[in-house]
Structure 1
């Protein structure tokens, strides 16, 4: 997913508790939730999102009982969903969360204010 696309959806959306998604929004949301529906990807996302700054792939691979290529596959899925971004520096790749995308998910799932009262 391109950064331009992420920025277009990253800033605002109406919570699904307040209005139904249009077809494009449903496709967009489904892609994000599908990427997060795998336990390894969800855990990778939580490690990357909770880290301060960037996370080196070298710090991720040792935390899982799967091969390096499997971790790379899962990271690619997260990248394609616009949840993380990365940069190669020499041998290693560094990952960080796309905060706008996390805010988009949060806004999409936000409870109506009347439900909080």
Structure 2
């Protein structure tokens, strides 16, 4: 944790995914000070007939950022905006077709390598 899950259209080049993962990782390190070895980025691709908005097919992207609880509202907003900008810049998809959602989880409910994660850095 943090984990960024990218619900996006099919066909993004592997090199673009690698760039996105690298840029998301840098942003997470800079903004919420998460240890590098805890950051994961996952891509779920689907076709427009599997993604709907207002009842109509869409190729919009949803980016879910799952982080440990304890970050300030300002840090969370900065992360959401940076993730949106990185996606748009790397893929060429306009930001008005990208939605970023940040969810926080208490560290006491997050386990990695069989151990509970420590509390998140306060930023």
The question of a shared fold, defined as TM-score above 0.5 by the shorter chain, is answered with no
Greater RCO (Cα-Cα under 8 Å, separation 6 or more): 1
Query: Which structure: greater strand fraction?
Result: 2
Per the normalisation by structure 2, the TM-score is 0.27
Per the normalisation by structure 1, the TM-score is 0.28
